[in-house]
Amino acid sequence: MNDDDASPPARNPDVTAAGNPTDPVTAISWLQAALSDHGIISTPPRVVDQSTAMLIADEQIVLCRDRCFWWATGRFREGRPVTRFHAVADPAGAARRLAGLDKARAQAEKTK
């Protein structure tokens, strides 16, 4: 067989050429796997609408929309909740940030 006759490898339609997820359900599933590496149990991903998916990880709602993960920090500024976001290209980084938020919440509970 000739190398010219070889077909290109099959491409996953849920992942870009750079390896980033293209749909929110795939992205949130990758985050769920990264969260489990930190010992954080989460609900199965839920589709909110065509461009948004969510999961609940240790009482923290995480949305995936516009190629970002979004979650509330639990803090308020000028009466409005402060929201964090993280790129879907780095689910492990988002999981580290969420795990740090979880640790900070547990620490605050101890000081009460």
DSSP class of residue 4 equals: G
Task: Say if residues 67 and 80 touch (Cβ distance below 8 Å).
Answer: no
| 1-52 tens-digit pLDDT | 455 555 444 445 555 555 667 788 888 998 999 999 988 888 888 888 888 8
Amino acid letter, 50:
Q
| 42-61 tens-digit pLDDT | 888 888 888 888 988 878 89
Task: Say if residues 72 and 28 touch (Cβ distance below 8 Å).
Answer: no
C-beta atoms surrounding 109 within 10 Å: 8
Query: b vs e for 22-46, b when ≥16 Cβ sit within 10 Å of the residue's Cβ?
Result: ebbbbbbbbbbebbeebebebeebe
